[in-house]
Amino acid sequence: MNLPDARIGRLVAAHTFPEPIYVTRPSLPPLAEYARALEPAWERRWLTNEGCLHQRLERALCAYLGVEHLSLFCNATIALMAALELYGLREGEVVTTPFTFPATTHVLRWQRLDIVFADIDADTCNLDPSRVEERLTPRTRAIMPVHVYGTPCDVERFDALAAKYHVRVIYDAAHAFGVRLNGQSALRHGDASVLSFHATKLFTTGEGGALAVPDAERHRQAYLIKNFGIAGEESVEGPGINGKMSELQAALGLVQLEQADEEIARRRVLSQCYRRMLADIPGVCLFGERPGVQPNHAYFPVRINAEAYGAGRDALHDVFRRCNVHVRKYFYPLCSHFACYAGLPSADPAGLPNAERAAREILCLPIHGTLSVESVETIASVVREFHEALRK
Ligand code: T4K
């Protein structure tokens, strides 16, 4: 493609940020506030193993998220492995999406499960239940969908598949902190849901995660799994692992939780600004707001239709990089492209057309509570002016 270089150069010169603009940033409280939150741990000299801050955060998150049984973890990846372990999923097939962060697929491999990719829905980019059903076999033990960008999956259809085929549904809910569906937490579906509290998430404990399960007995088992299987000083009930969250992480979580509503509200304003400014640019498709969903605005993905826009997603990505804006291609490459999975029969691109297209077309624009509306306006202007420059 012949880019009109002089025009692009002028565009870049007019819209280059002096400091890098990242796709996300944690909104951190004043350091003194974090230090205050740590005081109970310091006084007790109790740094991990279900200390008082950990217990407090677990209770506070249950109340905030609207779930009864939540177990804190050191990160979402270990929590996903624990969820599989909780249901004895150590052999057989698991149907999952290729359009996700590597962790979703890797945990299946670590559990020695056979990975079966199925295609995603073209609109939501979530695993498509119809495509999943086509890939179920007598060896299928579970389905692992992801609430991509925080958009809830078609949970009712997955519930129905679980009942019909007697398979487990383990949700990777890494993006879905605080998302509600028909007034209820999106975490109240399936056999387990896993949140990530990584530094890139809207609610963060630096590294961290949580596993939501439907009942108290599963919650007890999740605790055992993340604590080496230790049930008492002289009793080990099973082959657990170290998946615990420390008091240092929990303290950050407690202060973060106080500002979670504000963080989501700020992102909502930015999201509305993007929607307003990007609404009528040819070839720029926004993700629809879904009925019944209370979103968390964790990501702001856009799809670039190269023909209508005048250039593809990658060209726009490169223009942004020249403007010092670190947009991201979440999720390119697909997990089914990784050398370790590309040889799987279900990784054949022919069977994953929607995922292949999404990986080519989607760009995640910056969104986080410390980003200004003016910055979002500039970023949106880059999208518009690049299109205009290409058309001249
Ligand atoms: N399932 C799904 C669907 C996931 O998206 C993830 C994680 C997981 C499972 C696993 O969860 P954890 O086990 O991590 O809890 C980032 C994160 O590292 C990853 O946790 C996250 N998904 C994924 C979507 O994004 P990268 O490779 O993009 O990270 P990085 O280091 O390039 O950071 C992105 C931007 O964030 C930076 O450009 C700047 C900003 N940033 C990053 C860090 C680490 C900060 O401002 N501060 C920071 O401390 O994967």
pLDDT tens for 355-374 read 999 999 999 999 999 999 99
Note the pLDDT of residue 7.
Answer: 86
Residue with tokens 């372990």: 85
Q: Is 115 helix (H, G, I), strand (E, B) or coil?
A: strand
Same domain, 170 and 98: yes
Domain count, the chain: 2
Q: Are 315 and 165 in contact (CB under 8 A)?
A: no
Q: Is 142 helix (H, G, I), strand (E, B) or coil?
A: strand
The set of protein residues with a Cβ atom below 6 angstroms from ligand 1 is 22-26, 75-77, 100-101, 103-104, 146, 172, 174-175, 196, 198-200, 209, 326, 328, 330
CA end-to-end span of the chain, whole Å?
14
pTM: 0.97
Ligand 1 atom having least distance to the Cα of 25: 46
Strands 93-96, 140-144: pairing is parallel
Q: Is 140 helix (H, G, I), strand (E, B) or coil?
A: strand
Note the pLDDT of residue 392.
Answer: 75
Residue 2, pLDDT > 70, answer: no
Residue 1, pLDDT > 60, answer: no
**H or E stretch including 95?**
strand 93-96
Note the pLDDT of residue 4.
Answer: 66
Candidate from 198, 325, 334 with most ligand 1 atoms within 8 A of CB, to mutate: 198
- Using alpha carbons only, what angle is made at residue 365 by residues 364 and 370, rounded to the nearest 5 degrees? 125
Same domain, 37 and 23: no
Q: Is 213 helix (H, G, I), strand (E, B) or coil?
A: coil
Which residue, among 383, 380, 177, has the nearest Cα to 297 in the 3D structure? 177
**Which of 238, 258, 278 delimits the end of a domain?**
258
Side chain identity, residue 217 = E
**Which of 243, 258, 273 delimits the end of a domain?**
258
Arithmetic mean of pLDDT, 183-205: 97
Ligand 1 atom having least distance to the Cα of 103: 9
Protein residue closest via CA to atom 16 of ligand 1: 200
Q: Considering all CA atoms of the chain, what is the largest pairwise distance in Å, rounded to the nearest integer?
A: 76
Q: Which domain covers residue 308, as residue numbers? A: 5-27+260-327+366-391
Same domain, 127 and 212: yes
Protein residue closest via CA to atom 25 of ligand 1: 200
Q: For residue 229, what is the domain's CATH number?
A: 3.40.640.10
Q: Are 363 and 327 in contact (CB under 8 A)?
A: yes
Arithmetic mean of pLDDT, 222-239: 96
Contacts of 10 (CB under 8 A, 6+ apart): none
Candidate from 101, 328, 338 with most ligand 1 atoms within 8 A of CB, to mutate: 101
Protein residue closest via CA to atom 30 of ligand 1: 200
Protein residue closest via CA to atom 50 of ligand 1: 200
Strands 180-181, 184-185: pairing is antiparallel
**Tokens encoding 69:** 């049984």
269 found inside a domain: yes
**Which of 239, 258, 277 delimits the end of a domain?**
258
Note the pLDDT of residue 24.
Answer: 98
pLDDT tens for 47-98 read 999 999 999 999 999 999 999 999 999 999 999 999 999 999 999 999 999 9
Which residue, among 64, 59, 80, has the nearest Cα to 210 in the 3D structure? 80
Protein residue closest via CA to atom 22 of ligand 1: 101
Same domain, 192 and 94: yes
Protein residue closest via CA to atom 11 of ligand 1: 76
CA distance 74 to 243: 5
| Burial class of 31 by CB neighbour count within 10 A (0 to 12, 13 to 18, 19+) | exposed
